[in-house]
Amino acid sequence: MRGMYIHIPFCHQICHYCDFNKVFFKNQPVDEYIESIGEELSIMANEGVSFENVETVFLGGGTPTSLSEKQLERLLAIIQEYVDVSSLKEFSTEANPDELTYGKLLVLKNGGVNRLSIGVQSFDAELLTKIGRTHGPDDAVRVVNDARRAGFDNISIDLIYGLPGQTIEQWQDTLEKASALDLPHYSGYSLIVEPKTVFYNLMNKGKLPLPGEDIETEMFSMLMDYMEKEGRHRYEISNFAIPGNESIHNLIYWENDSYAGVGAGAHGYLAGKRYSNIGPLAKYMSKTANGERPLQQTHNVTQIEAMEEEMFLGLRTANGVSAALFQKKFGQSLQEVYGKTVQSLIERGLVEQVGDRTKLTRMGVYRGNDVFQEFLK
């Protein structure tokens, strides 16, 4: 495996758009859950899963920084029992601006974490309140300054556009304030209203004033143009970086490579199998306590499915899909399998051939989902 994702499902506040596996922090068995992470890693090791070649570890959630300093120290110590943290190319954690104290930053740094992905989302105080965030714009600036003081230089922030009631002017202001932080990496996502969220319920009641497709497209265009102007190249549809600061962990996903998913509700891809873990904490912890993998589902990925994934994941990246690598992985040529589909997309102006690679055009980036659908049988 190249990467490891570890899920921390605890939150002090549930955002209105979030559909990830999460629970309110209060009255939860947090310490016991952290020990269950160690139990799951031990079970995997006993089953022959090797952690020797792990390049990246990513702590996601939920909110990993909802943990106390002591809890973070214990989690990091458990990870170090199975992974040589000193040899990792990247060790990332997600973070909330109002929970990432200077003390926690030092714990993370001392535990081997070298990259922060901070959920800023917006620099507009009113919008932050509307989407259920508990931090303000000043918290975002403060935490970036604190992170640099603690020795972090690989810092990314997430931004969201297409928020309820969000205007072009508000988005422009957020882009300017984000740029002023002069970070090596930015992620910009359009709001997706997922089932079982506060926003989904409001939308069904007709009480979610979304900007509309035309404005959302304009916001995406602004994001791409602004990042290019600031020297942050788009290396994936929603991700921008100074060259050399791309997220290695996320590239593992888009390169359709292997990674472990650890924790309640986590997903993984190992030895040709995609799997998901049990989501509810009590059931997850009961399984690991009994020495069993806490698996909810497993699926053996067929050759056709793997080829489909190679195309729609690879096309998300600016580098696109390599015909030579496709041939090496699957023993068939990209032309043989998808030649007619690719030619049709070229004629419609959605993809282009650049040397060995098939890539999205600018129009294809806007219509990515339409392109990806073409590769699903």
List, for residues 327-346, the tens digit of each pLDDT value: 999 999 999 999 999 999 99
DSSP class of residue 278 equals -
Looking at residue 120, its pLDDT comes to: 97
Identify the three-state secondary structure at position 49: coil
- What's the angle, vertex CA 195, arms to CA 193 and CA 198, rounded to 5? 70
Mean pLDDT of 87-92: 97
Asked if residue 272 has pLDDT above 90, the reply is yes
Looking at residue 314, its pLDDT comes to: 97
Looking at residue 18, its pLDDT comes to: 72
Averaged pLDDT of the chain = 95
Helices of type H across 21-115: 30-46, 69-82, 102-110
Mean pLDDT of 149-159: 98
Identify the three-state secondary structure at position 376: coil
Looking at residue 202, its pLDDT comes to: 86
Mean pLDDT of 10-30: 79
- Residue matched to tokens 């002017």: 169
Looking at residue 207, its pLDDT comes to: 85
Please give the domain boundaries of the chain with CATH numbers for all domains.
3-253 (3.20.20.70), 320-373 (no CATH)
- Residue 24: pLDDT band by 50, 70, 90 thresholds? confident
Encoding tokens for residue 133? 């965030």
Reported pTM = 0.94
List of residues 6+ apart from 220 with CB closer than 8 A: 161, 188, 190, 366
Cβ atoms of residues 263 and 43 within 8 Å: no
Which amino acid, 26?
K
Asked if residue 373 has pLDDT above 80, the reply is yes
Which amino acid, 32?
E
Residue 131 to residue 351: CA distance in whole angstroms: 35
